[in-house]
Amino acid sequence: MEYRKLGKTGIRVSKISYGASSLGGVFHPINKKEGIHTVHAAIDHGINLIDCSPYYGDLVAEKTLGLALKDIPRDKYFLSTKVGRYWKGPAKIWDYGAKKIVNSVEQSLHNMHVDYVDFIHCHDIEFADKEQIIYESLPALHQLKESGKVRYVGLTGLPLDNFIYIIDRVQPGIVEVILSFCHYSLNDDSLMDLINYMKINKVGIINASPLSMGLLTRRGVPDWHPAGSDIVNTCKKAADYCEKQGEKIEKLAIQFATQHPDIPTTLVGTANPETIVQNIKWAEEPMNKILLNEVLNILKPIHRKTWKNS
Residues with Cβ within 8 Å of 139's Cβ and at least 6 positions away in sequence, in order, are 98
**CA dihedral sign of residues 195, 201, 202, 206:** negative
Residues with Cβ within 8 Å of 265's Cβ and at least 6 positions away in sequence, in order, are 4, 6, 13, 14, 15, 16, 17, 49, 206, 207
CB atoms within 10 A of CB 117: 23
Active-site residue, selected from the candidate residues 55, 56, 77, 96: 56
Burial of 89 (0-12, 13-18, 19+ CB in 10 A): exposed
Q: Per residue in 214-235, is it b (16+ CB within 10 Å) or e — as a string? A: bbbbeeebeeebebeeebbebb
Is 184 an active-site residue?
no
Which positions are annotated as active-site residues?
A: 56
